[in-house]
Amino acid sequence: MNFCRVFKCLLAIALLAGAAQAKKLDVITSTTDMAALAQEVGGDKINVEALAKGYQDPHFVEPKPSFLLKLRHTDLLIVVGLDLEIGWLPPLITQSRNAKVQVGGSGYLDASMQARILDLPTGQVTRAMGDVHPLGNPHYWLDPENGKLIAKSIAAKLEELRPNDKATFEQRLADFTSRLDAAEKRWLAQLAPYKGVKVVTYHRSYPNFAERFGLDVIGYVEPRPGIPPTPQHTLDLIGEMKRQNVKVVMVEPYFDLKTPNSIGRETGAQVLVVPPSVGGVKEITDYFKLFDYDVNLLANALKQVTGK
Ligand SMILES: [Zn+2]
């Protein structure tokens, strides 16, 4: 073998190795919040895309053929879990015929595994009467402390799939955690004057948020998670809000405002549309901006209603 041929061969190997190294890990997430957290940790080592849009109800997403195509070719699927996606995602996972992203596969990550979960069932686990939270509350990303835990799980999974990039993922995780620590102090300070303030929410989306930031959720517009408001429940809620002097109703962007507005008229409460997800409104482009937006919105409203 002459020198030239050997050189060409080595060059080809080097180019192939370089291409393999540069190929980004393809990540699909069920929701935008998981995509935002994966982006924080993965940086330019991954391509990440969410299936649901941030302004959609994550319990009820219309499956599209394009979802199937994305799942078929991805390296990693990150789900919120706790049955949040049970109404739309499991058949797509099966039909994707991608062994990696099947439940328990090497490219499947349930982000709820390491997070702090509230509303855990005490009795028998059941979806009776349409309760869409049978395994505990799946809206757990709305606490920055859980954001850190989710990011940590994502980093561990990315390192498992791309051990050569471990240092990058570790460094990005540390950087994200310290930026989030600083931001969390700011958000806590903004809402500190209103600690213990009573609020009502439409769906049970904000228990982790309320726990972290000191809000007292005394009732819900929905009689049970996933069940639309009924006239009797609405009347009872109005009575309770008047008794307890509740002046704020938090509503997710994907619910009809008719019932919340009538509750607002009866009780004098402010009706606030509080996005629970990245992309809920266009200015919420990442995990930090989600809390920036929601905390500002609440702080402004609570300032008005409490006079503090
Ligand atoms: Zn829910």
> In this structure, are strands 25-29 and 270-273 parallel, antiparallel, or unpaired?
unpaired
Distance, CA 226 to ligand 1 centroid (Å)? 7
Distance, CA 135 to ligand 1 centroid (Å)? 11
Sequence length of the chain is: 308
Using DSSP's 3-state secondary structure scheme, residue 230 falls into: coil
Name the burial class of residue 104, with classes exposed (0-12), middle (13-18) and buried (19+) by CB atoms within 10 angstroms of its CB: exposed
Distance, CA 30 to ligand 1 centroid (Å)? 14
Residue 37 has a pLDDT of: 98
Distance, CA 112 to ligand 1 centroid (Å)? 14
CA-CA distance, 231 to 5, in Å (whole number)? 82
Distance, CA 44 to ligand 1 centroid (Å)? 32
CA-CA distance, 253 to 296, in Å (whole number)? 16
Under 8 Å between Cβ of 176 and 287: no
Distance, CA 224 to ligand 1 centroid (Å)? 10
Name residue, tokens 């969410």: 50
Residue 132 has a pLDDT of: 87
Residue 17 has a pLDDT of: 55
Counts for the chain of helices (H) and strands (E), in that order? 10, 8
List of the chain residues with pLDDT < 70: 1-22, 125-130
Distance, CA 225 to ligand 1 centroid (Å)? 6
Distance, CA 198 to ligand 1 centroid (Å)? 20
Residue 168 has a pLDDT of: 98
Distances (CA, A) of 220 to 84, 158, 163: 19, 38, 46
CA-CA distance, 211 to 209, in Å (whole number)? 6
Distance, CA 227 to ligand 1 centroid (Å)? 10
CA-CA distance, 253 to 238, in Å (whole number)? 21
pTM of this structure: 0.92
Distance, CA 119 to ligand 1 centroid (Å)? 11
Residue 35 has a pLDDT of: 98
Nearest CA among 136, 38, 121, 43 for reference residue 83? 136
Both tokens of residue 173?
């995780």
